[in-house]
Structure 1
Amino acid sequence: MTPPAPAQDWINRVWCEDALAGLARIPDGAVDLILTDPPYNLGKDYGNASDQQTVADYLRWTEQWIDAALPKLKANGSLYIFTTWRFSPEIFVMLKQRMAMMNEIIWDRRVPSMGGSVRSFSSVHDTIGFFVKRKDYYFDLDAVRIAYDAATKKARSRSIFVGAKWLEVGYNPKDLWSVSRLHKEHPERADHPTQKPLEIIERMVKASCPPGGVVLDLFMGSGTTALAAKRCGRDFVGFELNSDYCAIIEQRLAAQEQEQEQDAAVPAPAKKKTASKPAVKKPAARKTRRAAVPEDAAV
């Protein structure tokens, strides 16, 4: 078993090792949010056989890492897990025996309407489970509200809506998230077959991890969870078995840090000072004498 790392040495690190072995590095009750995207067991090539197990072995392994990870979570912590409809029923039952389920979120990947199966309906979504340890879990809805468009605000302009907070701050994102998958030409795309968009991961981080909190990802992949955490002012810790993906993560983190440093170094545009113009005294209004109007005249 891996010995626990010295205090705080485990934070903001991606450990290039098996999560089941490396979790011993993290103290119990130290993580605010577990956000992870494990292999779906659909036969993809991640440089190892992690996605090519028998159904029984896959479910046994899933239960094993769940039991190893949950003690790391704080009492008011949460968990998000990406999965596929093929295994979500079994995995959700495992988690419901240990936590309270708050949502089944459907991620609509916006797959183009072409190709697909001819013997069933085309699968165009991923399933996400949102679980919590107890009722007083951390959740910041205002951080992830979606602004209403101008047309909606105009339609709600009647007096009964004036001052309504929900109209000003935006609406709840609901449990159907329509966010395009990352195409090969997308600037955010890294060399990973199942990379998730930053938009989705940041929504989870902002909603379910307090500022300065810690996000744990057991299967880092391309490192999107780490990038999202740093962009949102949170810390992270994660594991990734594939050394090539570990290198990609380090490159992405370094590039993001460099970009943030460059942005911070750019001074804010100075406001141009304009010479104050002397006040111009308006001419007094001319008084005109109106002719008397007889009281019985039509006006």
Structure 2
Amino acid sequence: MSRIVLGDCLAVLPTLPDQAVDFVLTDPPYLVNYQDRSGRRIANDKNDSWLVPAFEQIYRILRDDAFCISFYGWNRVDRFFNAWRAAGFRAVGHIVFAKPYQSKAKFLRYQHEAAYLLAKGQPALPDEPLPDVLPWKYSGNRLHPTQKPVESLATLIETFCPSRGIVLDPFAGSGSTCVAARQTGRRFFGIELDAKYHAAATTRLSTTPAGRVAA
């Protein structure tokens, strides 16, 4: 299992078996109707009707005693928490990625991204816990309006996904999670609704060599 499929995760996820993946790393829409300077938008960023059923499926597909890391919209965190808790996840950590630049400025200069570390069951503690503040490298957002840096995602995968495990990203965008999984020697399953971003992800993955992990 190492592929990224074009489709709605609410249609694709129910076709996957229970406890089929070892780790989930995803960047879902933030529910803010985002539009970047070039006019690009993100599907399903206007409403949260997909939020609860998606995370219920994510929880079902994730193996017991494993982790999910989800980025989220800080000003919609109540909706994300409700969905995570309804699915069965519990929050066991919060990760802040410090940007060396600001995304925008209003009441504050917005210079970070954030994600919650969610647990299903009782995962084992990592041998070397990550700090909860991590660096961030600007991706350029060339392929997707909220494109995440592969380097940051690879660090999370190496820490929270077992060697040769399967990483799931139901909101794959331009495929950064899948690229990071391949580079760190993990298998992956990605789902992307937008055909343009799916095509970009497929192209990236076609030129990404598989990495190796320790036995």
TM-score higher than 0.5? yes
Long gaps (5+) in structure 1: 1-10, 143-171, 184-188, 262-299
Aligned to 1:103: 93
Matches within 5 A, 1:25-104: 25-45=15-35, 49-51=43-45, 53=46, 57-58=47-48, 60-97=49-86, 98-104=88-94
Q: Note if contact 2:97-2:112 (Cα within 8 Å) is conserved in structure 1.
A: yes
Change in CA separation of 1:122 and 1:72 when aligned onto 2, cut-off 3 Å: same
Paired amino acid for 2:117: F
Aligned to 1:221: 173
Aligned to 2:207: 255
Q: Distance in 2 between matches of 1:211 and 1:191?
A: 28
SS at 1:79 equivalent: strand
Task: Give deviations 1:245-295, integer Å, cap 9, x for gaps.
Answer: 1111111111113xx69xxxxxxxxxxxxxxxxxxxxxxxxxxxxxxxxxx
SS at 2:208 equivalent: helix
Paired amino acid for 2:116: G
Q: Note if contact 1:138-1:210 (Cα within 8 Å) is conserved in structure 2.
A: no
> Does 1:200 pair with 2:152?
yes
Aligned to 2:115: 128
Aligned to 2:135: 178
Task: Give deviations 1:71-112, integer Å, cap 9, x for gaps.
Answer: 001012110000121012331243245122111111222215
Q: Identity over aligned residues, as a percent?
A: 28
Q: Note if contact 1:139-1:209 (Cα within 8 Å) is conserved in structure 2.
A: no
Paired amino acid for 2:114: T
Larger RCO, structure (CA 8 Å, separation 6 or more):
2
Paired amino acid for 2:134: W
1:44: how far off?
2.5
1:141: how far off?
3.9
Q: Note if contact 1:110-1:179 (Cα within 8 Å) is conserved in structure 2.
A: yes
Runs of 4+ with deviation above 4 angstroms: 45-49
Decide which of 89, 95, 105 is 1:116's aligned counterpart.
105
Q: Note if contact 2:182-2:208 (Cα within 8 Å) is conserved in structure 1.
A: no
Paired amino acid for 1:103: G
1:139: how far off?
5.0
Q: Note if contact 1:32-1:74 (Cα within 8 Å) is conserved in structure 2.
A: yes
Root-mean-square deviation (CA, aligned residues, Å) is 2.2
SS at 2:110 equivalent: coil
Long gaps (5+) in structure 2: none
For the pair shown, the structure with the greater C-alpha radius of gyration is 1
Q: Note if contact 2:43-2:194 (Cα within 8 Å) is conserved in structure 1.
A: no
Q: Distance in 1 between matches of 2:206 and 2:104?
A: 38
Q: Note if contact 1:35-1:81 (Cα within 8 Å) is conserved in structure 2.
A: yes
Paired amino acid for 1:174: P
Q: Note if contact 1:36-1:82 (Cα within 8 Å) is conserved in structure 2.
A: yes
Q: Note if contact 1:111-1:180 (Cα within 8 Å) is conserved in structure 2.
A: no
Aligned to 2:13: 23
Paired amino acid for 1:131: L
